[in-house]
Amino acid sequence: MARLKDAPFELAVRDLTKTFGGRTIWSGLSFTVPSGVMAAVTGPSGSGKTTLLNCVGLLESVDGGRISFGEWSFGAGSQMASRACFRDVLGFLFQNYGLVEQWDVRRNLLLPLHGRRQRRGSAQAIDAALARVGMRGAEKERIYTLSGGEQQRIALARLVLKEPSLILADEPTSALDHANAGLVMEILAEQAQAGALVLISTHSDRIVQQCAHVVALDAVTSQARADAGAVAHR
Ligand SMILES: Nc1ncnc2c1ncn2[C@@H]1O[C@H](COP(=O)(O)OP(=O)(O)OP(=O)(O)O)[C@@H](O)[C@H]1O
């Protein structure tokens, strides 16, 4: 089956509004990002960076506007994404790593392969992905026995195996040492070079410098702000 990232595509966010309990986080938020790049989502604490990633990743509903990528398009009142979208398109690198703690590494890494590739050959694929993140031989380790940095490496190995088209990374290096943070950015850049669109929420100038696009949120959210060009494209 053709993957979304096999041809160039665009993430288009149009006139997006998000409220929590009557409080508007942003409204009229619009931007586009092409595939094949890393884009940083910046803004002060509370400006809605994580919320934006959750909305684009279809984990959170929106109150107005549209989010489109490739053939997929979602707005207020849309049915949540089909399993196919989560299985074939979206990939997440979040601060809680999103791993099943009681399972071993191998079982966690088999999950993205399920239904997409023959299990035959998966042992070699898992070995190669673990080698890429410096965790070769960790197949039988249980997740809860690993350090935070090691768990993030396993989450990275999962991305390497899954090769998602649209990757949402929420402050992916904030809890990591220099070496692990470097590895995270290296692998995200590789995924972008392979055609994925990588959206990274961050407070780090160093990460922003590595991104081709910046989606800048600020504390003031209004239609006027969005119209005035809240989104800076490099
Ligand atoms: N599920 C929720 N229910 C109610 N309010 C929420 C919910 N999730 C987030 N918020 C509020 O929405 C606002 C934006 O939160 P968000 O975590 O998206 O900001 P952020 O820019 O990622 O912040 P930080 O840089 O501190 O991580 C905050 O005021 C937060 O309290």
Tens-place pLDDT, residues 68-104: 998 899 998 776 667 788 888 999 998 777 899 999 9
Domain contains 11? yes
Domain contains 94? no
Domain tally, the chain: 2
Listed residues 117, 135, 163: the one ending a domain:
163
Domain contains 95? no
- State the distance from the centre of ligand 1 to the C-alpha of 136, rounded, in angstroms: 36
Domain contains 195? yes
Domain contains 131? yes
Q: For a pocket test of ligand 1, which of 26, 50, 53, 173 has the largest count of ligand atoms closer than 8 A to its C-beta? A: 50
Same domain, 132 and 56: no
Same domain, 139 and 150: yes
Higher-confidence residue of 86 and 36: namely 36
**Residue ID of nearest Cα to ligand 1 atom 6:** 20
Give the count of beta carbons closer than 10 Å to the beta carbon of residue 174: 13
Higher-confidence residue of 113 and 152: namely 152
Listed range (7-21, 146-160, 209-223) with the worst mean pLDDT: 209-223
Tens-place pLDDT, residues 94-136: 877 789 999 999 999 988 776 555 566 688 999 999 999 999 9
Listed range (105-119, 180-194, 198-212) with the worst mean pLDDT: 105-119
CATH of the domain at 66: 3.40.50.300
- pLDDT reported for residue 118: 53
Same domain, 157 and 190: no
**Residue ID of nearest Cα to ligand 1 atom 9:** 51
Collapsing DSSP to helix, strand or coil, 197 comes out as strand
Q: For a pocket test of ligand 1, which of 49, 52, 53, 59 has the largest count of ligand atoms closer than 8 A to its C-beta? A: 49
pTM higher than 0.95 for the full model? no
What number is the average pLDDT over the span 222-230?
40
Listed residues 129, 163, 197: the one ending a domain:
163
Same domain, 24 and 74: yes
**Residue ID of nearest Cα to ligand 1 atom 4:** 20
Any residues with CB less than 8 A from the CB of 86 and at least 6 apart, and which? Answer: 58
Same domain, 135 and 152: yes
Q: Which atom of ligand 1 is nearest to the CA of 170?
A: 22
Give the count of beta carbons closer than 10 Å to the beta carbon of residue 143: 19
Q: What range does the domain containing 170 cover?
A: 1-89+166-234
Residue 56 CA to residue 68 CA, distance in Å, equals 9
Residue 100 CA to residue 126 CA, distance in Å, equals 17
- State the distance from the centre of ligand 1 to the C-alpha of 32, rounded, in angstroms: 22
ipTM of this predicted complex?
Answer: 0.97
Domain contains 32? yes
Same domain, 134 and 184: no
Q: Is the pLDDT of residue 1 over 80?
A: no
Listed residues 163, 184, 211: the one ending a domain:
163
Higher-confidence residue of 169 and 219: namely 169
Residue 108 CA to residue 14 CA, distance in Å, equals 35
Q: Is the pLDDT of residue 148 over 80?
A: yes
